[in-house]
């Protein structure tokens, strides 16, 4: 059984949605329990309905963080009823529920945990190889859960190394990269809505400090000098959105930046953009990288983990020195002026997606890993 406590459909939730149905072809049958607070439950009702329609027994439990024991009791009853002895949890709150469940009710339960990331305030300041000493509640909850978990699986080498450098383990956890499937859509039908300028660039993701939106906004005045008709589309919501809107006003970029909020299907906007800019300070994996690969939209990104284990500078993307807005502006100008390079990057990135980052590759690698577990 897979277990995820969640409040929004994002990377880990899409990972689960892609992974579990595909495992059936390897005779690995999984149930899913989704735990969500009441305020976000409507979104996950639809999420669960979609998985049930695919033949995945999926149950939604409405609960909050203070009802961990009550939630563990419900899950224990489900496991006993269906004779399930292995739980694969995703994200820290799910790990905590699983650890409490094993400690209080089901001591022989075999626990697997996927490490999709870590606390974002840590990721903002972390550099590869940096040793960090932490002593907050998040750290101690993580330590408690790790004592109960039998096998850990990371979504990238960067996260595997992070857990070593944070002092959680001496041996590197294995990792399997994400894979995705993008359903075909009529690109021409959405052109009028999604192509808003020439040229057009785009940034997609939650508007948070570690996603680096402000570095891109600082780069825009120089880009506009070279491309007076350019427009930047900003897709996503987040705690930094108002600060970014204020920065746009301060820099006089109102005619060149459109905030489109959350979009249930950002692919149409990505596919109609000339370049996607992803200036994250750190990504546990970075689904948008491989979404851009699949859609053949050229990528410019900061040279940071884990993006630089997915992208190769000059071959599948353009990588820029971290936090350097001037360099970012110059690379945007260069790539917009160079269609041949854009086409080369897009073609080679698509090839990398097809060989490394499809759902099929991820599912097979995960199935192979499951079989080797000492259950």
For the entire predicted model, the pTM comes to 0.92
The fraction of the chain above a pLDDT of 70, given in percent, is 100
Residue 357, pLDDT above cutoff 80: yes
Find out whether 203 and 234 touch, Cβ atoms under 8 Å: yes
What CATH number labels 188-356? Answer: 3.40.50.2000
Domain 2-180+359-372 falls under CATH 3.20.20.70: no
Q: How far is CA 250 from CA 28, 189, 224, 255, 371, in A?
A: 55, 36, 15, 13, 56
Q: Measured over all CA atoms, what is the biggest interatomic distance in the chain, rounded to whole angstroms?
A: 66
Report the chain's mean pLDDT, rounded to a whole number: 95
Asked whether this chain's domains 2-180+359-372 and 188-356 adopt the same fold, the reply is yes
Look at phi and psi of residue 272 and say left if phi exceeds 0, alpha if psi is from -120 to 50, else beta.
Answer: alpha
Pairing of strands 32-36, 86-90: unpaired
* Residue 85 banded pLDDT, cuts 50, 70, 90: very high
pLDDT value for 90 = 97
The fraction of the chain above a pLDDT of 90, given in percent, is 88
pLDDT value for 76 = 98
Could you give the 3-state DSSP secondary structure of residue 295? helix
For 91, the token pair is 């994200």
- Domain ranges for the chain: 2-180+359-372, 188-356
Query: Which of 373, 371, 370, 361 is CA-nearest to residue 18?
Result: 361
Query: Which of 120, 117, 156 is CA-nearest to residue 311?
Result: 156
Helices (H), the chain: 11-23, 41-53, 68-82, 92-104, 120-125, 137-148, 157-165, 191-194, 213-226, 241-251, 267-271, 287-295, 307-310, 325-336, 339-356, 359-372
323-344 pLDDT tens trace: 999 999 999 999 999 999 999 9
124-169 pLDDT tens trace: 888 888 899 999 999 999 999 999 999 999 999 999 999 999 999 9
What is the rounded distance in angstroms from the CA atom of residue 293 to the CA atom of residue 311? 9
Residue 65, pLDDT above cutoff 80: no
Query: Which of 272, 296, 294 is CA-nearest to residue 191?
Result: 272
Residue 66, pLDDT above cutoff 90: no
Mean pLDDT of 196-218: 96
Mean pLDDT of 244-249: 98
Query: Which of 145, 215, 155 is CA-nearest to residue 180?
Result: 155
pLDDT value for 302 = 97
Q: Find where tokens 């041996």 sit.
A: 171
What is the rounded distance in angstroms from the CA atom of residue 71 to the CA atom of residue 94? 10
Q: Specify the range with the lowest mean pLDDT, choosing from 8-12, 30-34, 159-163.
A: 8-12
């Amino acid at each position: 059984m897979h277990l995820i406590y969640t409040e929004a459909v994002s990377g880990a939730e899409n990972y689960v949605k892609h992974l579990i149905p595909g495992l059936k072809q390897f005779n690995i049958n999984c149930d899913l329990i989704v735990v969500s607070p009441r305020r976000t439950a409507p979104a996950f009702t639809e999420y669960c309905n979609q998985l049930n329609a695919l033949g995945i027994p999926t149950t939604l439990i409405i609960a909050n963080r203070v009802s961990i024991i009550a939630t563990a009791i419900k899950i224990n009853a489900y496991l006993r009823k269906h004779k399930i002895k292995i739980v694969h949890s995703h994200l820290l709150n799910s790990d905590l529920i699983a650890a409490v469940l094993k400690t209080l009710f089901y001591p022989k339960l075999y626990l697997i945990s996927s490490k999709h990331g870590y606390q974002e305030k840590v990721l903002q300041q972390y550099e590869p190889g940096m040793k960090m000493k932490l002593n907050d509640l998040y750290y101690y909850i993580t330590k408690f859960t790790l004592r109960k978990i039998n096998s850990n699986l990371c979504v990238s080498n960067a996260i595997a190394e992070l857990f070593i450098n944070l002092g959680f383990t001496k041996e590197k956890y294995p990792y399997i990269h994400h894979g995705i499937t993008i359903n075909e859509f009529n690109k021409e039908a959405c052109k009028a809505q999604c192509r808003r300028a020439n040229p057009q660039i785009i940034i997609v993701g939650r508007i948070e400090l570690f996603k680096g939106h402000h570095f891109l906004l600082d780069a825009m005045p120089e880009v506009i000098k070279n491309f007076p008709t350019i427009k930047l589309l900003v897709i996503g919501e987040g705690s930094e959105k108002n600060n970014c809107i204020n920065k746009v006003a301060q820099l006089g970029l109102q005619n060149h930046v459109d905030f489109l909020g959350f979009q249930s299907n950002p692919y149409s906007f990505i596919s109609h953009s000339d370049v996607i800019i992803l200036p994250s300070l750190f990504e546990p994996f970075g689904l948008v990288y491989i979404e851009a690969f699949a859609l053949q939209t050229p990528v410019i990104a900061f040279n940071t983990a884990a993006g630089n284990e997915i992208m190769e500078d000059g071959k599948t993307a353009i990588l820029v020195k971290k936090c350097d807005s001037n360099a970012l502006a110059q690379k945007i100008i260069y790539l917009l002026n160079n269609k041949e390079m854009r086409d080369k990057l897009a073609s080679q990135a698509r090839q990398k997606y097809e060989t490394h980052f499809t759902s099929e590759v991820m599912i097979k690698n995960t199935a192979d890993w499951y079989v080797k577990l000492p259950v």
